[in-house]
Structure 1
Amino acid sequence: MATPAVSGVEVKIVNSNKGKGLFACQEFKKGDVIFEEVPLVSSQFLWNEFYKYHACEFCLKSLETAEKMAQRLASIPTLTLPQSQNCLVRPEFQVHCPHCQVTYCSKECQEMAWNQYHRTLCMGPSRGDESHPLGILQAAWRNIHFPPESCSIMLLTKMIAMVKQANDPAAVLKTFSQFTNSTVNEEQQIMHKLLGSKFRAQLETLRSLVMQTLYDEQIPQWFTSEGFQSLFALIGRNGQGIGTSSISVWCQNCDAMDLPDDERASLDDFIDQLYIDLEKESGTFLNCEGSGLYSMQSCCNHSCVPNAEVQFPHNCHKLQVVALENIAPGEEICVSYLDGCMLERSRHSRQKHLRDNYLFNCMCSKCQAQAGNPDVTSSEEEDEEDMEAEGT
């Protein structure tokens, strides 16, 4: 049965194996924004915050100006960006929680956070004190889940706080129940991937700390060993990575400028060199990073030949799903769960990554066309595995 959603798309059951999928109700041209969406809940990664990536506690907007962010990530304190008007960060609008001093990009974000979950999670003057119950939980998480991060314990705590603060807790629970659930065996595979081989003991440590801090009799099922594992698997399987950057927005706005040829060439050269400097100093960790739960985006299935992609053009947690090619009415909208490099690897490598991380075998047109290819791992992956073996 189809479920109407935002204009132009609908959620339908694909089949018993894939479950739900997102389908076009109208024609979309290449480059069209199919829909925009804000998450039900989102959270910055704790290690990302620990390493001084400054983001709005609610919407994850990068709080540094493009110039300040570039200076920090490139380790060039004197760096000056041209066309400074193309940076949309406005420090004068930023506000702090009066109790714990976490920062928000605006008064609106502060109020929404307080009304949804922050009244429960506010650490008051103890923020940063690892003797505070939430501080203990955050430190335990960092000791268990090292970078690169793929989810956050704080996403889970915000979900609990949202139920605790809600005028209608049942409605909030119903909203979270829409996300894909996993079998017990799949949950354990997800836990193993997220936390490592000792996940059972680590999961119990996290459960105990969360229970001591946030137990609520309205949702006792979330605090049992089985319920906590299911809740954790839900955010592990359905969480969408979020990346925000004031630098990238500045670059987009520079690209959109109508400039004389000589000025355009000079600006492009500057941006090219900037990214060389950024990558040399900070590698690929250039964004404020976190994850969120999105109602519509979570219904998009994977394809190794996606017809759409997820973008974060607003320097906040609001995402866009954008058409990569023309999409006809009735056609399923698919994104890639793999990054660009992984998409270029062999069928065997892609399938292995999808099984390990998302627990399914891809049957997209590309995988079916390559079904007769030898089960050979890509040379890039072999190199990575060799490096990992040398490091252990």
Structure 2
Amino acid sequence: MAAYMETECEGARVVYISSDKGKGLVAQKSFKSGDVILEEKPLVCAQFSWNELYKYKACEFCLKSLENAEEMVQRLTNDPSIVLPFPECCEVDATKFAFCPQCQVLYCSPHCRDAALNSYHQALCLGSSRENPDHPLNQLINQWRSFHYPPETGSIMLIIKTIAMIKQAKSKGAVISMFSTFVNSVINEREDIAHKLLGAQFLDQREILRSMLAEVFFEESVQEWYTPEGFNSLFALIGTNGQGIGTSSFSRWVKATERLQLGDAEKEQLDDTIDKLYERLEEVSGSFLDCEGSGLYQLQSAANHSCVPNAEITFPHGDHTLSLVALEDIQPDEEITISYLGCCGLERGRHSRQKALKENYLFTCNCLKCLSQCDDASITTEEEEELEEDDY
């Protein structure tokens, strides 16, 4: 197993696995189930455009939820009369917020504001034009929204922020090299990702976005990204490598209440209150409860999929910091795998899983579960048979 010289940490390293898988993530040491294998911050991340438009307030840099828990519940239930008990369990502190002095973009802290300014925001700041819908960058974002409705799976802002990082960098080549691992991993079948605006039926929409980006935010050092082929590669980059991020001050409040020392009756009453709140939230807002976005992570993006993964991704700090946690014991030099599918997707039959992975990530899964079910007719569901007929 030859080393893939890209990046590593104490918990895992990126290696070359095989010609069909390319790179993968391998354990540096042994882990027990529940152990944190690694924590990682993204090279860049961005809140989804529709999510921001619908007033999900998040730190522009780390995506931390900036509504307090009570405000979030009131908005998502459309009920301003709701009062949460134990307000001390909410970690949101508006006194620590910071703003960009020019465009007034909101951050959870001066640290995040300064990190954004030092990384990309100087090149991206819209100044007094931030709320102007006629500003070219705002027009580009609005155009993206018109082509990509919720549920969102990517963001034009990831591309814009990536270019802004390069524009602002003292060493443009160093920043470009960080993203080259993602760009070079895109395979020739990228046009097949129809649901991420890369299908032939979305050619006109892509061309509009590409021409607008070239006109309003051109960067000579990556001019190849503005060609039709290069722009498709950028879409494939965020489609196949972008990791979803979700933050919620309400869910953080719920977790904090679990640590309270309460009597049995008080604990039962609190649990009942929380259950009823979640019922109201689902009734009014469905599954759209979090501040949502996506980011590009160098180590996480190297982890291959398995329908029986030995690790999972969590966001335990309520921001963009990703934790990779072992689901079972893992030995040194063992490949670390995650699921690219959600829980519901994993529970579906082999054909449905294979179809989703092929369409979304351009590969055929050959994990142990898929191989064991390959010739097992007993697991073929009626839904899968219908899908197989559709394929023909």
TM over 0.5: yes
- Per the alignment, residue 390 of structure 2 pairs with none
**What is the rounded CA distance, in whole Å, between the counterparts of 1:30 and 1:294 in structure 2?**
23
- Per the alignment, residue 345 of structure 2 pairs with 342
1:128-181 superposed Cα distances (whole Å, 9 cap, x missing partner): 322101011011101111111100001001111111100000000100011252
- Aligned to 1:330, what secondary structure does the other structure show? coil
Q: Does residue 370 of structure 1 match 2:386?
A: no
Q: Is the 8 A contact 1:349 1:378 kept in 2?
A: no
Give the 3 Å change call, closer, same or farther, for CA 63–381 of structure 1 in structure 2: farther
Give the 3 Å change call, closer, same or farther, for CA 69–176 of structure 1 in structure 2: same
Give the 3 Å change call, closer, same or farther, for CA 226–277 of structure 1 in structure 2: same
| Counterpart residue identity of residue 182, structure 1 | V
- Aligned to 1:177, what secondary structure does the other structure show? helix
Shift of 1:379: 4.3
Shift of 1:283: 0.3
- Per the alignment, residue 33 of structure 1 pairs with 36
| Counterpart residue identity of residue 289, structure 1 | E
Shift of 1:8: 2.1
Q: Does residue 182 of structure 1 match 2:199?
A: no
Structure 1 ranges of 4+ moved more than 6 A: 380-383
Shift of 1:259: 2.9
Q: Does residue 356 of structure 1 match 2:359?
A: yes
| Counterpart residue identity of residue 259, structure 2 | A
Q: Does residue 250 of structure 1 match 2:253?
A: yes
Shift of 1:319: 0.9
Q: Is the 8 A contact 2:352 2:384 kept in 1?
A: no
What RMSD over aligned residues (CA atoms) do the two structures have, in Å? 1.9
| Counterpart residue identity of residue 357, structure 2 | L
- Aligned to 2:191, what secondary structure does the other structure show? helix
- Per the alignment, residue 299 of structure 1 pairs with 302
Q: Does residue 76 of structure 1 match 2:74?
A: no
Shift of 1:189: 1.3
- Aligned to 2:17, what secondary structure does the other structure show? strand
Q: Is the 8 A contact 1:56 1:105 kept in 2?
A: yes
- Paired residues in the alignment total 382
**What is the rounded CA distance, in whole Å, between the counterparts of 1:104 and 1:148 in structure 2?**
25
**What is the rounded CA distance, in whole Å, between the counterparts of 1:54 and 1:11 in structure 2?**
35
In the TM superposition, what are the counterparts of 1:92-241 in structure 2 within 5 Å? 92-179=95-182, 181-184=185-188, 186-190=189-193, 192-195=194-197, 197-241=200-244
TM norm structure 2: 0.93
Shift of 1:256: 3.0
Shift of 1:381: 11
**What is the rounded CA distance, in whole Å, between the counterparts of 1:381 and 1:270 in structure 2?**
44
Shift of 1:373: 3.0
1:208-246 superposed Cα distances (whole Å, 9 cap, x missing partner): 111111112222111112111112211111000110111
1:259-309 superposed Cα distances (whole Å, 9 cap, x missing partner): 332222222222111111111110000000000000111011111111111
Give the 3 Å change call, closer, same or farther, for CA 234–75 of structure 1 in structure 2: same
- Per the alignment, residue 336 of structure 2 pairs with 333
Q: How much identity, in percent, do the aligned residues show? A: 53
Shift of 1:80: 1.4
Q: Which moved more, 1:101-110 or 1:38-47?
A: 101-110
**What is the rounded CA distance, in whole Å, between the counterparts of 1:72 and 1:381 in structure 2?**
43
Q: Is the 8 A contact 1:249 1:313 kept in 2?
A: no
Structure 2 segments unaligned to the other structure (5+ residues): 388-392
**What is the rounded CA distance, in whole Å, between the counterparts of 1:265 and 1:20 in structure 2?**
49
